[in-house]
């Protein structure tokens, strides 16, 4: 079990791109830092990560631009209906 401390966001982006999101077991806020606990017991601490997560848009490799939206099985998708006024 190792603990890695990442001090800058640019380093966090590069480091986290190498890690599968499925290998993350838990995410914890440690004061202003963010700690990722991996399934193998390793820990990654991102300085000011919790503080930044609360106050800024995502800057992680898993931002909305890189994720795949869930799909709806054929026949279950519905067009939203609105009540007339």
Query: Residue 23: pLDDT above 80?
Result: yes
34-74 pLDDT, tens digit per residue, is: 999 999 999 999 998 887 777 766 555 555 444 444 454 55
Is residue 67 in a domain? no
Number of domains in the chain: 1
Q: What does the block give as tokens for 29? A: 């806020």
Is residue 84 in a domain? no
Phi, psi dihedral angles at 9 (to 5 degrees): -60, -35
Domain residues for 46? Answer: 3-55
Q: Of 47, 48, 46, 44, nearest to 20 (Cα)?
A: 44
CATH code at position 21: 3.30.720
Is residue 22 in a domain? yes
* Per-residue model confidence (pLDDT) at position 14: 84
pTM listed for this prediction: 0.61
- Share the mean pLDDT of the chain: 75
Is residue 28 in a domain? yes
Is residue 69 in a domain? no
């Amino acid at each position: 079990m190792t603990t890695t401390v990442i001090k800058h966001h640019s380093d966090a982006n590069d480091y986290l791109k190498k890690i599968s999101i499925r290998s993350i077991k838990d995410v914890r806020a440690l004061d202003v830092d963010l700690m990722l606990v991996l399934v193998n017991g390793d820990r990654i601490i991102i300085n000011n990560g919790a503080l930044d997560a609360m106050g800024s848009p995502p800057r992680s490799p898993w931002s909305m631009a890189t994720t795949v939206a869930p799909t709806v099985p054929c026949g279950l998708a519905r067009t939203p209906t609105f009540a007339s006024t």
